[in-house]
Amino acid sequence: MQFLYNISILLYVLGIRIILPFNSKAKLWIRGRKNIFQKIEAAIKNQPSIIWFHCASLGEFEQGSPIIEGYKKKYPTHKILLTFFSPSGYEIRKNCKGADWTFYLPADTKVNAKRFIRIVKPIKVVFIKYEFWFNYMLECKKQNIPFYSVSSIFRKEQIFFKNRWFARQLKNVTHFFVQDKLSDEFLKAIGFKNTTISGDTRFDRVRAKVDSAKEIPLVAEFCRQKPTIICGSTWPKDDALLIQFIKENSQYNYITAPHEISKVQQLKKLTNGLLYSRANKKNIVENNLLIIDSIGILSDIYQYGKIAYIGGGFGVGVHNILEAVTFGLPVIFGPNYKKFNEADELIRLGAAKSVSNSNNLTNAISYFENNSQENICKNYIEENSGGTEIILQRI
């Protein structure tokens, strides 16, 4: 099985190289790893006391960020190495202030894992949520380097609970900090007792955002005119549903931020909305749809809204809903949300609704327009915060 795993890694890299001419993310994935070991070695220069944090992408970084910040406060002399698997995480956070160095993670081959650990010599390793790269984990075990899995979540359909070889790879984890009781029970059922239920560290991240949110005067002026629905991280299927509603309901203002910035111009053609980069004090009050064509301001924009629609629920899964909830906004999203505990919980509490068609969307917005969920949302964030400190006390 180890042989097949190693072959699958090589085939994955080969597949990315094949689609390289046709896929911008594939280009970034390959180019970002060019001469990666030379870059890491030149940057680190045998620095001692390095703790290595690894995230798949941007969402996992949001979970790891409060731990990174908290660790740096407790151990200011330690150095932090941050790695990403995906370009969508690295390209946005490659200048992360909390890390001393940020790189792409070399592919998980035996040779790469040994070389990476030899160069970095981490004193501790922290992988976020779903990331389990078996050759890196094994090499850390061989070198007696503590390996922590944080904000991890497990489900019975995962391969760890169906295949013994995959289950055995988890023996290389020093400690699991899981999000919920069910994950804890699944691990215990296959013999792992080195677990702590610490919740989702994103709650700490978004809770801190309320106090540190930046003011955006043009957006504030836009939202002052009418109740505003913030549509965050939308995909084309989300946009198709929202555009129909926007055309038929001028009693609201709308702000939409496509998940991929490349979709901005297409959205503008379909709606004739105002691009944020072209907004000024005059035209901002003459439009009812503002299209965000800047990266990194969506989480600050939620402070001005009344209701949030979060994209991704018609695809691989709904995006971060907590960024909106922390400002007291009820949230609406598509039908694919079952892998996200917070979505289930907020639906149960009445502060979220899943929609699959135009009628669902109309009814959900009408309900939240007439039933404020602000206290429920803010209490939910408050009650689920604190996981970061639990983790920091252990590692």
pLDDT tens-place string over residues 195-237: 999 999 999 999 988 989 999 999 999 999 899 999 999 999 9
Residues above pLDDT 70, as percent of the chain: 100
Q: How confident is the model at residue 59 (pLDDT cuts 50, 70, 90)?
A: confident
CA distance linking residue 78 with residue 50, whole number of Å: 6
Burial of 361 (0-12, 13-18, 19+ CB in 10 A): buried
Q: Is the pLDDT of residue 69 over 90?
A: yes
| pLDDT at res. 347 | 97
> Residues for the chain: how many in total?
395
Q: Is the pLDDT of residue 142 over 90?
A: yes
Residues above pLDDT 90, as percent of the chain: 86
Q: Print the SS3 string covering 366-392.
A: HHHHHCCCHHHHHHHHHHCCCHHHHHH
| pLDDT at res. 316 | 84
Q: How confident is the model at residue 366 (pLDDT cuts 50, 70, 90)?
A: very high
Residue position matching structure tokens 């035996």: 110
Q: How confident is the model at residue 262 (pLDDT cuts 50, 70, 90)?
A: confident
Phi, psi at residue 127, to the nearest 5°?
A: -105, 140
| pLDDT at res. 379 | 96
Distance, CA of 254 to chain centre: 24
Distance, CA of 158 to chain centre: 20
Q: H helices then E strands: how many in the chain? A: 19, 14
| Long-range contact set of residues 345-350: C-beta below 8 Å, sequence gap at least 24 | 345/380, 346/321, 346/377, 346/380, 349/373, 349/376, 349/380, 350/376
CA distance linking residue 211 with residue 303, whole number of Å: 11
Phi, psi at residue 170, to the nearest 5°?
A: -70, -10
Which domains can be identified in the chain, with CATH numbers? Answer: 2-199 (3.40.50.11720), 212-382 (3.40.50.2000)
Residue 109, Cβ neighbours under 10 Å: how many? Answer: 16
Least confident of 141-145, 258-262, 290-294: 258-262
Residue type for position 262: S
Q: Is the pLDDT of residue 58 over 90?
A: no
| pLDDT at res. 312 | 95
Q: Is the pLDDT of residue 307 over 90?
A: yes
Q: Is the pLDDT of residue 96 over 90?
A: no
Using an 8 Å Cβ cutoff, are 117 and 140 in contact?
A: yes
| Long-range contact set of residues 358-362: C-beta below 8 Å, sequence gap at least 24 | 358/241, 358/244, 358/245, 361/241, 361/242, 361/245, 361/309, 361/332, 362/245, 362/249
Residue type for position 342: E
Q: Is the pLDDT of residue 266 over 90?
A: no
Residue position matching structure tokens 């549903």: 241
Alpha-helical regions (H) of the chain: 2-18, 24-31, 36-44, 58-74, 87-93, 110-120, 134-142, 164-169, 181-189, 202-212, 217-225, 236-248, 264-271, 298-301, 322-325, 341-349, 358-370, 374-383, 387-394
| pLDDT at res. 295 | 83
| pLDDT at res. 330 | 98
Q: How confident is the model at residue 46 (pLDDT cuts 50, 70, 90)?
A: confident
| pLDDT at res. 92 | 86
Residue 221: partners with Cβ closer than 8 Å, 6 or more residues away: 281, 284, 285
Q: Is the pLDDT of residue 184 over 90?
A: yes
Q: Is the pLDDT of residue 164 over 90?
A: yes
Q: Is the pLDDT of residue 16 over 90?
A: yes
The pTM of the full predicted model, rounded to 2 decimals, is 0.84
CA distance linking residue 29 with residue 394, whole number of Å: 34
| pLDDT at res. 264 | 87
Higher pLDDT, 337 or 316: 337
Q: Encode burial over 270-298: b for 16+ CB neighbours within 10 A, e otherwise.
A: ebebbbbeebeeeebeebbbbbbbeeeeb
**Looking at residues 255-265, what average pLDDT do you find?**
89
Average pLDDT over the chain, rounded to an integer: 94
User: Nearest 5°: CA angle at 148, between 147 and 152?
Assistant: 140
